[in-house]
Amino acid sequence: MYCPNCGAKAVENAKFCVECGTKLIITQTDKQISDDIPSPLPKWLEGLSPRLQKAEWLGEKYEKYQEALELSQEEMREHPSLDALTSILGNYIALKQFDKAQQTLDELKKFGATKASLNLYQACLLFVNEKYKETESLLEHTMLYKKDLQSKGEEILLLFELAVVRRVLGKDNLEVLDEIIKLKEYCTPTVLQLAYYMQGCAYFQKEQHNQAYINFVAAQKEGYKPDVDFCCSRAISGFSCGQLEYIQEDINFVLNSDADEDSKKIVRDIQENLVNKETGTKKTDIVVTDEAMKGSYNMFYEEVLKAIEKYQTEKDVHTSLNTFSSENLKLLMKHSIRYTFNYWEEVFSSVMTPQLQADFTAAKKDVKHYVDENFNRIIERANFLIDDVIEQYPEDSLWENGKRIVKGALTGYFGGWLGVLGLMSDQAEENKMMDKTFKKWDTYLKQTMKEYDDVYSVIIDHISKLVDKYNIPIKLSDEGEENDD
The neighbouring-strand residues paired with 2 are: 9
pLDDT at 387: 73
Q: Which residues of 444-477 are buried (b: 16+ CB within 10 A; e: fewer)?
A: bbbebbebbeebbebbbebbeeebeeeebeeebe
Own/partner contacts of 249-253, CB < 8 Å, gap of 24 or more, are 250/226, 253/226, 253/228
Cα 36 → chain centroid: 32
Is residue 450 a contact partner of residue 442, using CB atoms and an 8 Å limit? no
Longest dimension (CA), the chain: 90
Please count the CA atoms within 13 angstroms of the CA of 153 that sit on its side-chain side: 17
Predicted confidence at residue 394, as pLDDT, reads 53
Fill in the amino acid letter for 80.
P
Provide the residue ranges of all domains of the chain, joining segments of one domain with +.
Answer: 235-284, 288-484
Model pLDDT, residue 411: 41
Contact criterion met (CB below 8 Å) for 198 and 181: no
pLDDT tens string, the chain, 485 residues long: the values are 556 566 666 666 566 666 666 666 555 444 444 557 888 899 999 999 999 999 999 999 999 999 999 999 999 999 999 999 999 999 999 999 999 999 999 999 999 999 999 999 999 999 999 999 999 999 999 999 999 999 999 999 999 999 999 999 999 999 999 999 999 999 999 999 999 999 999 999 988 888 999 999 999 999 999 999 999 999 999 888 878 889 989 999 999 999 999 999 999 988 887 754 444 444 445 557 788 888 888 899 888 888 777 766 666 666 667 777 888 888 889 999 998 998 888 888 777 776 778 888 899 999 999 998 888 887 877 777 777 766 665 554 444 444 444 444 444 443 333 333 333 344 444 444 445 666 676 677 777 888 889 999 999 999 988 888 777 777 776 544 433 43
Give helix 65-78 / helix 82-94 axis angle, nearest 10°: 160
Q: Write down the pLDDT at residue 445.
A: 75
C-alpha–C-alpha distance, residues 67 and 98, integer Å:
18
Cα 301 to Cα 452: distance, rounded to the nearest angstrom: 9
Tell me what pLDDT residue 437 has. 63
What residues are paired with 288 via a beta bridge?
A: 474
Cα–Cα distance between 459 and 70 in angstroms, integer?
58
